[in-house]
Amino acid sequence: MSLHELLIAPFAEFDFMRRALVGCVVLALSCAPVGVLLVLRRMSLMGDALSHAVLPGAAVGYLIGGFALPWLAGGGIVAALLVAVLAGIAGRYTVLNEDASFAGFYLMALALGVVLISRWGSQVDLIHLLFGSVLAIDDAALYVVAAVATISIAWLALCYRGVVLECVDPGFLSAAGRGGSPYHLGLIVLTVLNLVAGFQAMGTLMAIGLMMLPATVARLWADTLPGLMGVAWGVGLVSTIGGLLVSYHAGLPSGPAIVLVASLFYLVSLTLAPHGWRGQRGSQGDAR
């Protein structure tokens, strides 16, 4: 097999591969900075919780309007924001911290979504909602992904300093009288929007992988925020392209293939990165 047949031909010959490539590349560009901010804010598990919270809303939307994009996306956004609000209320007015309250509500949401689809849908419908299908992404889904990416990048550009301060020291803005909660709320909303956009292509279980794995890899390699963003973007782009190629040539599901490629970067980084096992071991040796 020539290099052209291996890397270029799948995208040159098939329209569905080009559409999947565009959708995944734009999604990676949008998800990477959000994932980095969640890692810095130590809210990685919140992203996972919100990705599962999308399911019951998408299930209700599916039962009403089938796989029509407005119903799926609208239901997913409403369900995820509802879980975020309820978890925030529980964390504020009980002894539970935010992580614990998110865990309780996302498990409830996941179970409810599975029950709804299992009871009134089919096993095929459940698998589609859980794992998605990048290769079946249509023009409407591309518009949603592009819109979410535009909103995410624009909001981050406008609120960059406040978001960074809120991630590094959540108490600083409140002490300075400027209030950090709008930035926190904005980050949650961006997380929900990106997960819903990713859900259209990769399903509720796989969408979080494209957000958190590149960000986690970046944290092992870079020290500055621009460096973290750059590494996360690079890993996300290579993972999407490599995952689509692996999916095409090996006949694997595209969403899981993309996440597995990103997971390979993560495993390598754990060993070789400056902040991974080898780098930390070398630092300990120098300290001695």
pLDDT in tens, 163-174: 888 777 766 655
pLDDT of residue 154: 93
Contact by Cβ (8 Å): 211, 190? no
Contact by Cβ (8 Å): 202, 20? no
Per-residue pLDDT at 284 exceeds 70: no
143: CB partners within 8 A, 6+ apart: none
Per-residue pLDDT at 233 exceeds 90: yes
pLDDT of residue 122: 66
Contact by Cβ (8 Å): 156, 38? no
Q: How confident is the model at residue 151 (pLDDT cuts 50, 70, 90)?
A: very high
**Burial class for 99, CB neighbours closer than 10 Å (0-12, 13-18, 19+):** middle
pLDDT of residue 126: 63
**pTM (predicted TM-score):** 0.85
In eight-state DSSP terms, residue 94 is S
Query: Coil, strand or helix: which one is 2?
Result: coil
Q: Minimal CA–CA distance to 191: which of 102, 112, 127, 124?
A: 102
- Compute the average pLDDT of residues 181-209: 82
**Span of 176-185, 216-225, 269-278 with lowest mean pLDDT:** 176-185
Return the amino acid letter for 284. Q
What b/e readout covers 14-27, taking b as 16+ CB neighbours within 10 angstroms? eeebebbbebbbbb
